[in-house]
Amino acid sequence: MPRRALVLLLSCLTLLGVATAVAPAASAEAGPEYVALGDSYAAGVGAPPDGVSGACLRSPHSYPALYARTRPLTHVACSGATTADVLRHQVEAVTATTDLVTITVGGNDTGFSPVLTTCSTAAADETCARAVRAGEAVARFALPVGLAADYGTIRLRAPHARIVVLGYPRLFDETPNCAGVPNQARRALLNHGADTLNAAIRGSAARLGAEFVDVRPAFEGHGVCSADPWINGPAAAGAYHPTARGYALGYLPALVAAAA
């Protein structure tokens, strides 16, 4: 690992600390090979939940569960998780025998839900724009600290594991007419925010020796307001998260291609 990355990692761990709690896994075996970490996008929120993971809302249709049908899986991703939550409650699932770790995290650090709420309800477009810009500032300047702590701790716990970091899709098709969602200008702002978030995640993954998987091309033409959406609209359970088709046809092929 480059010297600068090690210095950054040690600084992150000093700031955030490494706690010992681990969220209950959806399935596990001794000496797991594949460990899935992250937030709601990794847990599978937006697809039917497994019914046993409580507030974490893990789903058998999530991309980790779909990918792991042929191998042991420890799935500890949890709805609402931030980078700090991953560090405190999830990374201990990674062991020296782990050979693959996947993770999607960072959206909650930048205010995923509050920004969407603001852009859905604000009277003025500029109010939405300010919320998006604030989230983008967090993505550029604060999020890399949390990501470095997560990726670096994973690397320390499993020196030989492959770390695959999956990003986020753009949520919206920007067609002019779409009822019940932010207007076209606000949807464009939110999609730009997703691009900024993915850029920050890509940069952090590169610095810490992880592989970034960009899922935006797979979801192109399948956002909210498209003719064939793979992301739930605002009225659905798991609003603004991939549907089961989104995990199967968007995330899974991207992960398979990266892990091949």
Digit-coded pLDDT (tens) for 223-236: 999 999 999 999 99
Q: Is 156 helix (H, G, I), strand (E, B) or coil?
A: helix
Q: Cα separation of 10 and 152, whole Å?
A: 9
Q: Is the pLDDT of residue 96 over 70?
A: yes
What's residue 71's pLDDT? 85
Q: Is the pLDDT of residue 47 over 80?
A: yes
Do the Cβ atoms of 120 and 234 come closer than 8 Å?
yes
What's residue 260's pLDDT? 80
Nearest by Cα to 198 from 169, 222, 163, 240: 169
Q: Cα separation of 76 and 105, whole Å?
A: 12
Do the Cβ atoms of 207 and 165 come closer than 8 Å?
no
Other beta carbons less than 10 A from residue 111's beta carbon:
18
Token reading at 206: 């590169």
Considering 75, 89, 222, 241, which one is annotated as catalytic?
Answer: 241
Name residues whose C-beta falls within 8 Å of residue 252's C-beta, 6 or more positions apart in sequence: 63, 66, 67
What's residue 32's pLDDT? 55
Per-residue pLDDT tens digits for 7-46: 344 344 433 333 323 344 444 444 459 999 999 999 999 9
Verify whether residue 40 is a known catalytic residue. yes
DSSP string, 174-220: --S--TTS--HHHHHHHHHHHHHHHHHHHHHHHHTTPEEE--HHHHT
- Mean pLDDT of the region 65-71: 90
Considering 11, 40, 79, 120, which one is annotated as catalytic?
Answer: 40
Verify whether residue 241 is a known catalytic residue. yes
Predicted TM-score (pTM) of the model is 0.88
Per-residue pLDDT tens digits for 160-195: 999 999 999 999 999 999 999 999 999 999 999 999
